[in-house]
Amino acid sequence: MAKTDAGPDPVYDFTLPATRLQQAERVRNTLKRLNTPQARAALKRHLKNRGDLGRIIRLYPMHKLYQVRALALHDVTYACSVGFIMSYLPGGDVTFSVFYDRPGHQYTNVSYRAPIEPTWLEVVTPEEFEEMVKKDNPTVVLA
């Protein structure tokens, strides 16, 4: 956990509330960690031989970034929120954690896990995510 002179850093300490820009940095850091060869191999070993969950695991891998589709309302998950699949549930659902809140929504704690049908999730590429962050957080230039 990183510390600044002002105290713990919300980018690395997920127990602290974070601004949207800090949330975006959390997403970038988590995506980097999840996509290392070691992390992917460990995840593959952990999820190996999961039987009936195999199809869902292949279609919706944990190492990707997801955005919730429009019209989805599942507990703490709302349409257009961005985050990661945290676990797979019997019956084909997944638990989802919001890492990046969209404008107009209150901060969602990363530790909250919402069960959701994976069909409500769509993959977001890192490039699409960066465009989303730019759009959500316009830079103001003072003359």
Q: Where are the domains of the chain?
A: 18-136
Element (H, E) at 83: strand 82-88
Confidence band for 41, pLDDT divided at 50, 70 and 90 = confident
Torsional sign, CA 55, 109, 15, 2: positive
The count of residues in the chain is: 143
Topology of 18-136 in CATH? SH3 type barrels. (2.30.30)
pLDDT band at 42 (very low <50, low <70, confident <90, very high): confident
Res. 75: pLDDT tops 80: no
What pTM does this model have?
A: 0.84
